[in-house]
Structures are given as C-alpha cells and as structure tokens.
C-alpha cells in the first residue's frame, strides 16, 4: 500500500508541475507587456531568491564556505542572470508559439554537448534524435511557407537558440557539482540578484511596483524559477518508474500552446503544433542515454 501511495503522490506532484510549467510562456508574454525583460528578470529573481533562502534556512542547507560561494556565484551568472535575460529578450521579440518550442530544444543541445564534454558515444539513435529535433525547428520557423522565409524577428530566433546553449551548459556543469540543489540555487540566486539589479538600473531603470507587476514577478520567480522544480523533484523521488513518470513533462508544451491561443489570443499556426510534435519526437530519441531524464533534476519544459 505504501508503494501505491508513493506512486499516486508522484503522479500528483508531476501533474502539478506540468500544469504549472504550461503557464510560463503565457506568463512571460503578459509580464513583458508591462515590464522590460530586465525588469521582469529582477522581480522574478528577488522573489525566487527569497524562496530559496527560506528553504535553505529551514532545511539547514546553506553550507557556507569559500568553495560554495564561488560555485554559487559562477552558476548564478548563468542562471538566473544570463539565461533568463536572453530568454526574456527572445520572448519579447517573438510570438510565444515560436519562442517556447525553440527554447524546448535545449535538451537536444544537452545531448549533443554531452558527447564531447561527458565523453558519451555518438550513437545512431542520438544522431537521429538531433536530426529529427532540428527538422521540427525548421517546420516551426517556415510557418508553412516554403517559397520564402516568413517575417520573423531573426535576432529573437537567435536569442531563443542561444538560450538553449546556456541552459544545456548550465545542466552539464550542474551534473559535476555535489552541492544539494537547494544550496546551489540559494547561493546562485543570492549572488545574481545584485548583478540583475545593477543591470536593470543602468538599463531600463528599476520598475515602478504595482500589484500587477509584482504578480508577474511572482509568476516567474515561484512557478518558472523556483517552486515547480521542487514539485518535479518530489515526483522523481517518490516514483519507482522515473522514465514513465518523466514522460508526463511532454504534455507541458502542448498545454502551453492551448493557453497561448486562448489567453494571449495568438492565432496558433498549424506549423507551431506540428513543429513542436517533431521536436518532442526528437527529444524522445535523445533520452535513450539518460534513462528518461534529460538532465539531473531538470526536465524539459
């Protein structure tokens, strides 16, 4: 009975995480409607820092020391500072139905980078997964036009693809760190917060606070950056079938497209759904090496 309860709890945690992550693309676009990318990043980072500080304190996971501080600062430069700045700039320039599937290819980049960095063999299945995944990107970007490229912000496309390199690199580095996840996240966000604040002050300026803006900051800080990762970790820890439970994460981008169409009012093109489906097929092929997890504690979303 205990195992059955654990599996039911794992399923509920996983579904809650999937439901939460399916809202973030919509949340990004709504937040960027009233805030500059750096301003949204600042609010989200401050709120997420507070969350991880409370968790680290409650669990006794600060582990202060020179090595911990240096590691946290180095990782904080990538996540949240550089990664989310690049990602938010991409979302600011592109329709959500384009930016979200492009960012979703980070796990394919991770599988590709793992070959030279982690010395993993380049199998035929991995090559097939990478090829299929980027065929999906091509379908996504053509938007059904094969005579000429559609009118997209190509700088935004480049930023979205650059975000996949940053996120894949972050998880490759994360795999080599033996700090508890809460410890690493607490110090990373604590180190990044002043950097984001300075960049924001020198750029668009510190945001004037309203309940609406704070709400979008909380959406980013709690759902995208913080609390939902903890839900997913609980699901993975409780289940005996991590591979099977992990497949649920692939529901997230398709639910996200529904919200993009209904809440944001974007006219979702058939190539967005088709391209995303092909990208997911590529991701499933590349997951062969990792036993069902694209990265340690880091599902595709």
Reported as a single tens digit per residue, the pLDDT across 34-77 is 999 999 999 999 999 999 999 999 999 898 889 999 999 999 99
Residues making up the chain, counted from first to last? 301
Nearest to 291 by CA among 247, 231, 228: 247
Q: Residue 173, SS3?
A: helix
If pLDDT is split at 50, 70 and 90, which confidence band does 291 have? very low
Measured in degrees and rounded to the nearest 5, phi and psi for residue 133 equal -60, -45
Question: What's the whole-number mean pLDDT along residues 162-172?
Answer: 93
pLDDT value of position 230: 79
Nearest to 274 by CA among 25, 99, 28, 101: 101
DSSP code, position 144 = T
Asked if 212 and 154 touch (Cβ cutoff 8 Å), the reply is no
Alpha-carbon distance of 245 to 286, in angstroms, equals 17
Question: What's the whole-number mean pLDDT along residues 148-166?
Answer: 89
Please give the residue that has the higher pLDDT: either 294 or 273: 273
Residue bearing tokens 């497209």: 257
Asked if 177 and 73 touch (Cβ cutoff 8 Å), the reply is no
Alpha-carbon distance of 174 to 180, in angstroms, equals 10
Tokens representing residue 219 in the block:
């959406």
ω into residue 80 within 30 of 0, thus cis? yes
Asked if 184 and 72 touch (Cβ cutoff 8 Å), the reply is yes
Alpha-carbon distance of 57 to 242, in angstroms, equals 29
Alpha-carbon distance of 264 to 266, in angstroms, equals 6
Please give the residue that has the higher pLDDT: either 194 or 226: 194
pLDDT > 90? residue 300? no
H helices then E strands: how many in the chain?
Answer: 15, 0
Q: Residue 27, SS3?
A: helix
pTM for the structure as a whole: 0.90
Ordered alpha helix ranges (H), 175-226: 181-202, 211-218
- Name, in order, each residue with C-beta under 8 angstroms of 226's C-beta and a sequence gap of 6 or more: 47, 48, 51, 52, 185
Alpha-carbon distance of 285 to 301, in angstroms, equals 16
Alpha-carbon distance of 278 to 265, in angstroms, equals 24
Q: Which range, of 15-24, 142-151, 252-261, averages the lowest pLDDT?
A: 142-151
If pLDDT is split at 50, 70 and 90, which confidence band does 295 have? very low
If pLDDT is split at 50, 70 and 90, which confidence band does 14 have? confident
- CA dist 55 → 60, 176, 183 (Å): 8, 23, 9
Q: Is 135 left (phi over 0), alpha (psi -120 to 50) or beta?
A: alpha
């Amino acid at each position: 009975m205990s195992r059955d309860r654990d599996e039911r709890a794992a399923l509920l945690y996983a579904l809650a995480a999937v439901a939460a992550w399916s809202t973030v693309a919509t949340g990004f676009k709504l937040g960027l409607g009233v805030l500059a990318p750096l301003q949204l990043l600042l609010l989200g980072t401050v709120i997420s820092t507070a969350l991880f500080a409370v968790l680290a304190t409650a669990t006794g996971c600060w582990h202060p020391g020179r090595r911990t501080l240096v590691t946290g600062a180095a990782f904080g430069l990538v996540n949240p500072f550089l990664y989310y700045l690049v990602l938010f700039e991409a979302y600011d320039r592109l329709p959500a139905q384009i930016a979200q599937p492009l960012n979703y290819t980070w796990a394919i980049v991770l599988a590709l980078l793992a070959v030279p960095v982690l010395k993993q063999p380049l199998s035929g299945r991995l090559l097939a997964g990478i090829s299929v995944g980027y065929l999906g990107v091509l379908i996504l970007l053509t938007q059904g036009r094969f005579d000429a490229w559609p009118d997209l912000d190509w700088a935004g496309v480049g930023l979205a693809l650059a975000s996949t390199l940053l996120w894949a690199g972050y998880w490759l580095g994360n795999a080599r760190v033996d700090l508890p996840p809460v410890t690493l996240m607490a110090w990373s966000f604590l180190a990044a917060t002043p950097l984001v604040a300075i960049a924001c002050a020198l750029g668009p300026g510190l945001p004037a606070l309203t309940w609406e803006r704070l709400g979008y900051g909380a959406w980013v800080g709690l759902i995208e950056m913080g609390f939902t990762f903890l839900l997913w970790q609980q699901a993975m820890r409780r289940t005996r079938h991590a591979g099977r439970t992990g497949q649920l994460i692939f529901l997230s981008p398709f639910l996200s497209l529904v919200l993009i169409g209904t809440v944001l009012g974007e006219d979702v093109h058939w190539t967005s759904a088709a391209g995303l489906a092909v990208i997911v097929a590529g991701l499933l092929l590349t997951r062969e090496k990792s036993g069902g997890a694209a990265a340690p504690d880091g599902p595709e979303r």
